[in-house]
């Protein structure tokens, strides 16, 4: 890090390529080769070329252009993460003896990777109260039990949880059948990730999604990438960053962890320059602030832009409101307060602002390193403020771009799977159903867990996802789910939640088709507002007992609601569902003709090409963003350190590894971070030296909710005062400190105490 008397232009430059650990590269080729030569290789390639959207991240590819092409028709746009996801879906069925021979207690001993490797679910199962096993059950009994579980309790005592794995059609059905019951308890995985982005951007621009599409991004000459490990979680984005650097652009990375793949990345899409060249340079500048201090970082950039005369005053005055108060905050906040909060020097921030001001068109992109904080919504608003102040909105190559996680997580929000249903869709649904919707506030994901712990939830339907594994405070999540009377899990494969999230009376585990197997067309929405159409497919499983999620939900809706005010059983026809989507979902009018035209489309009204926004006034609504209090509790908060005991208090970042997608783990180690297995913690070497702890020593990590022993210390390129562990293993450490504006937990700033497990010699690290 640069000090006040150092040369910031030298200090901010990332390591020279020959000195940096590269992301991507030949390990990607090796991964593809291993997958191709596996027994499922032929089926894998058949699936890769199928006209359906990628199962992995929301950056997305596939659909009507074919498996390897994006919405612009560019080839070679599949990544190894996609291959891993498909490979897992092509596993054989879970052997019958797994559920017949293993008790629930035994299944609870399995890790996330162990669960995923059991295979595919191919028959409906139930675990009844008093039994210690899952047992087979017929579909007719499943439907009867599920309908009774939703029909009997009052609407406020039923709920759903969903992930972005499924389709727009299933998502629309889910919210429609629950809202017709008078229930708004539509918790979603987005509550735990990008809810601050949706809320923050909606406040500023009136729209909670990216205002940048792929074509616009390709006109940028600057990208500010914040709180994202894109090489692992959104590898397709790396192609765009490589192109930007090749055309002379600037990439500013802001992340407390110096990720190797953000220094340079080898992409097979560029075989000569990138692969044979040892990787393409990515970061032009790399800032490592204190975790959770992003509001201070962007306030510092705003102050530097103001002082160098680089504010876009014409845009600000003509097309925004609230700017006067924001400018007053910038002027009145001293540099000392900003630098003390974020841990970066004034010179670093001024140099970064100069590079930003020199760009013609900048895209501001971020992931959960921004949103997973107690002030996540404020972080997002600070980024949006900076985009407006610098003039980087509503024109080609400029704007704000939250990088969504799971492939259709944004589509679920568009379909109304949210506790914050927007007024235009509310009115349209009321017209469709012929009556007002309930105004009782619904449970988001954290509120759902808290309500269940109080005994206020009787029935829960989980459409994909791992509600147990995705939540902080694992003990609380297990306890809460155990107080629900009936839980229905729709899934393609087992996960830890199916074993730890056991209901009090009956738990149903139901097998469904995945995206490329579903016997009818479906749609999904990318994180950049592009709606893809997936063609029907077939499954390799032979049991014949898998069900389409659309068919299951439509049958449930019919049993609950009969034939009025709409023909609920007709909703088993996805074409009819798409007709209703076109009538009731804002921006989705083109959905009505997609079955005939096969023409994919951009959701209307979200990509701003001129400075008129979706707010009532048409202006961007800027707001003051207070600096956060980032003080850490003393060691005594965790029980303290005994005299002479080695240890220290750190701010823990929980993160995914390079071999992981959401809660699903494909590889135990993370070679890019030098973390050879899951029971590791990444710490700055200077913190180790100051505390008396040693590299590869085993320690106890004590959090506010629990402790983990036997954790190996890994020295790495992370900011002093911070540490990194893998999620979901670290979930048991943390109490759910939440952003009060969005309900999203602070997964990226968890106070922990590290203490030596014993006074002996450091443990030997197992091989990668």
d(CA 754, CA 698): 10
3-state secondary structure of 172: helix
Q: In this structure, is the dihedral angle defined by the CA atoms of residues 287, 289, 293 and 297, taken in order, positive or negative? A: negative
Predicted pLDDT of residue 13? 64
CA 356 to chain centre: 27
Please, which residues have CB within 8 angstroms of residue 283's CB and are 6 or more apart in sequence?
14, 251, 252, 253, 262, 263
d(CA 35, CA 43): 10
Could you tell me if 50 and 535 are in contact, meaning their C-beta atoms sit under 8 angstroms apart? yes
CA 119 to chain centre: 24
CA angle 719, 720, 725 (to 5 degrees): 70
Of 525, 521, 493, the C-alpha closest to 509 is 493
Predicted pLDDT of residue 50? 95
Strands 530-534 and 601-602: antiparallel
Predicted pLDDT of residue 684? 98
d(CA 101, CA 133): 8
Instruction: Sort 247 into a burial class: Cβ within 10 Å, 0-12 / 13-18 / 19+.
Output: exposed
Beta-bridge partner residues of 534 = 522
Catalogue the E-assigned strands of 307-398.
Answer: 320-321, 362-366
The encoded tokens of residue 303 equal 């102050």
d(CA 166, CA 461): 14
Could you tell me if 569 and 563 are in contact, meaning their C-beta atoms sit under 8 angstroms apart? yes
CA angle 128, 130, 133 (to 5 degrees): 60
d(CA 358, CA 481): 53
Length of the chain: 768
Other CB atoms within 10 A of residue 435 CB: 12
DSSP annotation of 248 reads T
3-state secondary structure of 400: strand
d(CA 108, CA 369): 30
Contacts 24+ apart (CB under 8 A), 140-149: 142/508, 142/510, 143/552, 143/555, 143/556, 143/559, 145/486, 145/506, 145/508, 146/461, 146/486, 146/488, 146/508, 146/556, 147/556, 147/559, 147/560, 149/458, 149/459, 149/485, 149/486, 149/488, 149/506
Q: In this structure, what is the dihedral angle of CA atoms 149, 442, 428, 53, given to the nearest 10 degrees?
A: -80
Characterize 686-711 residue by residue with b for buried, 16 or more Cβ atoms within 10 angstroms of its Cβ, and e for exposed. ebbeebebbbbbbbbbbbbbbbbeeb
Predicted pLDDT of residue 12? 61
3-state secondary structure of 718: strand
3-state secondary structure of 499: helix
The encoded tokens of residue 17 equal 């390529």
Give the containing element (helix H, strand E) for 8: helix 8-11
Predicted pLDDT of residue 28? 87
Question: CA 247 → CA 114, 297, 364, 399, 533, distances in Å?
Answer: 44, 27, 18, 19, 32
d(CA 487, CA 481): 8
**3-state SS of 117-158?**
CCCECCCCEEEECCCCCCEECCHHHHHHHHHHHHHCCCHHHE
The encoded tokens of residue 432 equal 């469709």
Residues (pLDDT < 50) of the chain are 1-11, 16-20, 759-768
Of 423, 370, 404, 422, the C-alpha closest to 530 is 404
Please, which residues have CB within 8 angstroms of residue 295's CB and are 6 or more apart in sequence?
375, 378, 379, 382, 625, 626, 627, 628
Residue that the structure tokens 């097998």 belong to:
511
d(CA 211, CA 402): 9
DSSP annotation of 487 reads E
Of 486, 442, 573, 446, the C-alpha closest to 173 is 573
Max Cα-Cα span within the chain: 75
Please, which residues have CB within 8 angstroms of residue 338's CB and are 6 or more apart in sequence?
296, 299, 300, 303, 346, 349, 627
Helix 294-307 and helix 335-342: axis angle, to 10°? Answer: 150
3-state secondary structure of 337: helix
Helix 474-481 and helix 445-453: axis angle, to 10°? Answer: 60
Could you tell me if 12 and 285 are in contact, meaning their C-beta atoms sit under 8 angstroms apart? yes
Other CB atoms within 10 A of residue 21 CB: 17
CA 606 to chain centre: 20
d(CA 308, CA 340): 22
The encoded tokens of residue 739 equal 């952003």
Beta-bridge partner residues of 707 = 702
Predicted pLDDT of residue 14? 60
Of 362, 350, 351, 402, the C-alpha closest to 386 is 362
Q: In this structure, what is the dihedral angle of CA atoms 166, 168, 172, 178, given to the nearest 10 degrees?
A: 20
Give the containing element (helix H, strand E) for 214: helix 214-217
d(CA 514, CA 537): 9
């Amino acid at each position: 890090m640069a000090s006040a008397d150092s040369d910031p232009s030298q200090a901010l430059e990332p390591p020279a390529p020959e000195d940096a650990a590269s992301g991507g590269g030949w390990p990607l080729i090796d991964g593809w080769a291993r997958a191709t030569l596996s027994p499922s290789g032929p089926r894998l390639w058949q699936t890769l070329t199928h006209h359906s959207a990628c199962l992995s991240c929301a950056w997305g590819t596939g659909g009507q252009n074919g498996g390897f092409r994006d919405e612009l028709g560019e080839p070679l746009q599949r990544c190894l993460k996609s291959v891993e996801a498909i490979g897992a879906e092509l596993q054989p069925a879970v052997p019958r003896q797994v559920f017949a021979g293993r008790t629930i207690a035994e299944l609870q001993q399995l890790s996330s990777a162990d669960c995923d490797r059991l295979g595919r679910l191919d028959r409906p199962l139930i675990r009844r109260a008093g039994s210690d096993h899952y047992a087979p059950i017929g579909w007719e009994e499943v439907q009867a039990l599920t309908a009774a579980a939703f029909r009997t309790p009052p609407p406020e005592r039923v709920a759903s949880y969903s992930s972005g794995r499924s389709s727009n059609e299933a998502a629309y059905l889910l919210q429609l059948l629950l809202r017709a019951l008078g229930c708004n308890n539509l918790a979603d995985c987005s509550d735990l990730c990008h809810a601050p982005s949706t809320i923050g951007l909606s406040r500023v621009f009136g729209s909670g999604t990216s205002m940048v599409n792929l074509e616009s991004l390709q006109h940028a000459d600057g990208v500010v990438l914040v709180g994202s490990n894109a090489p692992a979680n959104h590898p397709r984005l790396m192609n765009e960053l490589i192109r930007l650097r090749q055309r002379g652009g600037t990439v500013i990375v802001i992340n407390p962890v110096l990720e190797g793949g953000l220094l340079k990345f080898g992409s097979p899409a560029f075989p000569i320059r990138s692969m044979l060249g040892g990787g393409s340079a990515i970061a032009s500048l790399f800032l490592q602030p204190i975790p959770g201090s992003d509001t201070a970082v962007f306030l510092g950039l705003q102050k530097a832009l103001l002082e160098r005369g680089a504010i876009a005053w014409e845009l600000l005055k003509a097309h925004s409101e609230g700017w006067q108060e924001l400018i007053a905050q910038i002027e009145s906040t001293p540099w000392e307060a900003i630098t003390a909060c974020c841990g970066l020097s004034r010179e670093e921030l001024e140099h970064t602002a100069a590079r930003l001001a020199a760009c013609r068109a900048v895209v501001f992109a971020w992931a959960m390193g921004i949103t997973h904080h107690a002030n996540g919504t404020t972080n997002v608003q600070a980024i949006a403020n900076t985009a407006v102040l610098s003039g980087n909105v509503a024109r080609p190559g400029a704007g704000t771009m939250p990088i969504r996680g799971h492939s259709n997580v944004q589509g679920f929000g568009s379909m109304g799977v949210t506790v914050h249903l927007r007024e235009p869709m509310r009115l349209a649904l009321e017209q469709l159903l012929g009556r007002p919707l309930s105004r009782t506030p619904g449970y988001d994901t954290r509120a759902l867990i808290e309500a269940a712990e109080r005994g206020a939830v009787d029935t829960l339907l989980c459409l994909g996802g791992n509600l147990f594994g995705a939540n902080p405070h694992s003990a609380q999540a297990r306890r809460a789910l155990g107080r629900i009377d009936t839980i229905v899990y729709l899934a393609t494969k087992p996960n830890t939640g199916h074993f730890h999230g056991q209901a009090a009376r009956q738990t149903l585990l139901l097998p469904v088709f995945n995206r490329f197997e579903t016997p009818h067309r479906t749609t999904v929405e990318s994180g950049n507002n592009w709606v893809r159409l997936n063609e029907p497919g077939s499954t390799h499983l032979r049991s014949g007992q898998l069900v389409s999620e659309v068919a299951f939900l439509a049958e449930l809706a019919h049993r609950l609601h009969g034939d009025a005010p709409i023909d609920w059983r007709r909703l088993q026809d996805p074409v009819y569902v798409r007709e209703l989507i076109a009538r009731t979902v804002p921006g989705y009018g083109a959905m009505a003709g997609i079955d005939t035209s096969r023409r994919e489309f951009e959701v209307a009204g979200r990509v701003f090409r001129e400075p008129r926004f979706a707010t009532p006034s048409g202006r961007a609504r800027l707001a003051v963003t207070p600096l956060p209090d980032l003080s850490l509790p003393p060691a005594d908060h965790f029980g303290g350190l005994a005299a002479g005991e080695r240890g220290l208090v750190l701010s823990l970042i929980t993160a995914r590894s390079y071999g992981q997608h959401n809660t699903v783990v494909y590889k135990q180690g993370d070679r890019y971070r030098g973390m050879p297995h899951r029971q590791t913690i990444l710490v700055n070497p200077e913190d180790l030296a100051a505390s008396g702890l040693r590299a590869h020593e085993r320690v106890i990590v004590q959090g506010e909710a629990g402790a983990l022993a036997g954790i190996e210390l890994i020295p790495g390129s992370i900011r002093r005062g911070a540490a990194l562990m893998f999620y979901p293993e670290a979930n048991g450490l943390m109490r759910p400190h939440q952003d009060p504006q969005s309900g999203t937990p602070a997964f990226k700033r968890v106070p922990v105490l590290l203490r030596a497990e014993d006074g002996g010699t450091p443990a030997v690290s197992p091989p990668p």
